[in-house]
Chains A and B, each alone.
Chain A
């Protein structure tokens, strides 16, 4: 537990930023829709970490309540998103985003 006292807010934020950036870059540079989807989750969780860390620092629970909301939304998102991905795969036989360009004007 000793070590926990030496972990300050900066460390949490550093982790959060790192995760967020991994998420963003993954989102930007991967073509596979499932991986992109996971990257989005990663970004959400990065935000969650930051929120919890701030919540701890300030000593109130607002941030943690937010986290719950985010997790609920993320769960819903997973349900809908995966369903969309399933349908996409069934119709296109691929989850490569480059081939998903039929909505262009």
Chain B
């Protein structure tokens, strides 16, 4: 039942917010915090043997269940969704038009993503996966900005929707191969494993294309930079911090256990593609003149790393992948929050035209620097633990591949430091007012999480490995 509560509190709040007028910010934040508390309490209860999962048959003829579980990976992603969600909604720094609708859509998106992370039924995963698109579509369309907004939103929507169809095909193929078709998770895994390696290869291809579009992986990423750019900043955060994790999580939850042989024998191309994506995105980040796009591309690079490491199918890869998802989620919120702080003060995010912010706002520079270090995977930050485990996993597939992916270590340092230098350092100091206490709080909490997980990662690793 607790699993149901985690899923439905945001959903009910969303419906409530559509019809409410006032205090939507407080309401939404309180709701998410309550959900967070419920999730943690649920996990504690679970460790004492309480059953908190839920399984309600909905359509018997096709074996569709409304089924939620909260095992290790799901719990970590739920934590991320809620913590990042709180951070995202808390980071709103100005009046929004139709605020209650904005919050309502955001909450609905969070509910959908929670559903996808906790789903123990393939069809339910698919439905939540697609459902999450609708709120973000409206968020971008209504609160986005810039020219060609509707075209860009449409491209994003159709592209990701189109990609997901391949997942549907793969899931249906596995589904129909069963004697008594059901979408239940374990049955799907078993049915997938029973297929021949060749068939598994095709199933995997369908799944991977769907996930690759969402993550995104080169060459399926072309919707992403313009969408990130034109979305409202909170929308970008939702996309980068949580939404794309549905895809990487999908690899861990659905692809790996269902079609391991397919990945091993016919799925190596996906690893190569991911590695290419890492390098390609790093190079792209190197050419960016604008902060927001640079962060967007660095996100592609990180996700490519997750995909490559996870698909190598080792313990380190799976755990490292989930760890990196968490870490990247926190870092993405914080980095885009940094962008928001800079943009709202300077009026633009063209890095070449800034400089010397450190002189005006030293504590901001300090926090930002730690985030940059987390982003380039410096040891004792959470980024390192994830990336190291992923690299370790990837080198099981091939040391050369690991070396190629590892180039992002160098390129990442190059573009991140270049950006940091251009904006924060130098003699000409542009005016930059000190951070508000709210802004300091957001960045500080992110920094604390990043460093704490870097120094004592075991706390999260044990959660991930805790399969109940």
Answer yes or no: A and B touching, Cβ < 8 Å: no
Q: Please list the residues of chain A having a beta carbon within 8 angstroms of any beta carbon in chain B.
A: none
Q: Please list the residues of chain B having a beta carbon within 8 angstroms of any beta carbon in chain A.
A: none
